[in-house]
C-alpha cells in the first residue's frame, strides 16, 4: 500500500526537493505547506500515514504541530527536520510524539530510512495501544491499570526485541513482527511472548 505523506517545510526549495524524492520513491504526497498550523489542518483533512515537519515554521513550530497532530488521535507518524541535534531537543520531540528526526542538510539516501524508522516505531506503538485497548474492553485489566499495563508491555517488548536482534540477528522491525505474529497466532499477549523470548523459552 502506498504511504500517504504531508510535508510542512517553510523553505520552498527544500519542500520541492522532499516532494520530488518522495514521489520518486513511490510515496503519495497528499498535501504540502510552509506553515505549522496549516500542516495540522492538512493532516486532519487527508489523514496521511506520515507528516514531515520542519522544526522552525511560521504559524506553529514543528514540535507544536506534532503535539496538535498527536491530539487529533489519528495514526500518523511524525518525522521532524531540524538543523539541531541537541539532547534537549530530542527529548522534547519524543514527548511531542515525534517518531524520528533528521538533521539538515540531509542526503537523499538518509531520508527514506528515517521515514521507515518513524513508521516502524509508530506501528509498534499502535499495536501495543490496540492490544491494551482490547484488554480493557475484554475486562482483562482494569481501566485504571491500562496505562501501567501499556508501559510494562512496551518495556518487555523492547527488551525482547534487543534479545532477538542480538541472538538471532533480526532487525528491529523483524523482531517486533515475530513477537506480534506469535502473540496473534497463539492468542497470547505480547507481554507474555516477550517474557518467553527474554527467558530463552521462545526463539524464531
Question: 42 or 103, which is more confident?
Answer: 42
Q: HEC profile for 80-115?
A: EEECCCCHHHHHHHHHCCCCEEEECCCCHHHHHHHH
CB 197 within 8 A of CB 179: yes
Q: Give the pLDDT band (50/70/90) at residue 49.
A: very high
List domains and CATH numbers for the chain: 4-106 (3.40.50.2300), 120-198 (1.10.10.10)
CB 160 within 8 A of CB 192: no
**74-110 pLDDT per residue, tens:** 889 999 998 876 667 777 877 788 888 888 888 888 9
pLDDT of the residue at 189:
84
**120-151 pLDDT per residue, tens:** 888 888 787 767 666 655 555 555 455 667 77
- Per-residue pLDDT, averaged over 48-52, amounts to 95
Residue found by looking up cell 514543528 in the block: 62
Q: Give the pLDDT band (50/70/90) at residue 18.
A: very high
- Per-residue pLDDT, averaged over 105-119, amounts to 88
Amino acid at each position: 500500500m502506498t504511504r500517504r505523506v504531508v510535508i510542512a517545510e517553510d523553505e520552498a526549495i527544500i519542500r520541492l526537493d522532499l516532494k520530488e524524492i518522495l514521489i520518486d520513491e513511490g510515496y503519495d504526497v497528499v498535501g504540502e505547506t510552509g506553515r505549522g498550523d496549516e500542516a495540522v489542518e492538512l493532516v486532519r483533512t487527508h489523514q496521511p500515514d506520515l507528516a514531515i515537519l520542519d522544526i522552525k515554521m511560521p504559524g506553529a513550530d514543528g514540535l507544536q504541530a506534532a503535539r496538535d497532530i498527536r491530539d487529533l488521535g489519528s495514526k500518523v507518524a511524525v518525522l521532524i527536520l531540524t538543523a539541531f541535534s541537541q539532547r534537549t531537543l530530542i527529548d522534547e520531540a519524543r514527548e511531542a510524539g515525534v517518531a524520528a528526526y533528521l538533521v539538515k542538510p540531509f542526503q537523499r539516501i538518509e531520508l527514506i530510512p528515517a521515514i521507515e524508522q518513524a513508521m516502524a516505531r509508530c506501528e509498534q506503538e499502535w499495536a501495543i495501544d490496540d492490544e491494551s485497548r482490547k484488554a480493557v474492553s475484554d475486562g482483562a485489566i482494569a481501566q485504571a491499570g491500562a496505562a501501567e499495563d501499556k508501559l510494562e508491555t512496551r518495556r518487555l517488548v523492547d527488551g525482547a526485541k534487543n534479545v532477538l536482534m542480538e541472538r538471532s540477528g533480526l532487525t528491529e522491525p523483524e523482531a517486533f513482527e515475530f513477537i506480534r505474529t506469535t502473540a496473534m497466532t497463539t492468542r497470547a499477549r505480547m507481554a507474555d511472548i516477550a517474557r518467553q523470548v527474554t527467558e530463552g523459552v521462545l526463539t524464531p
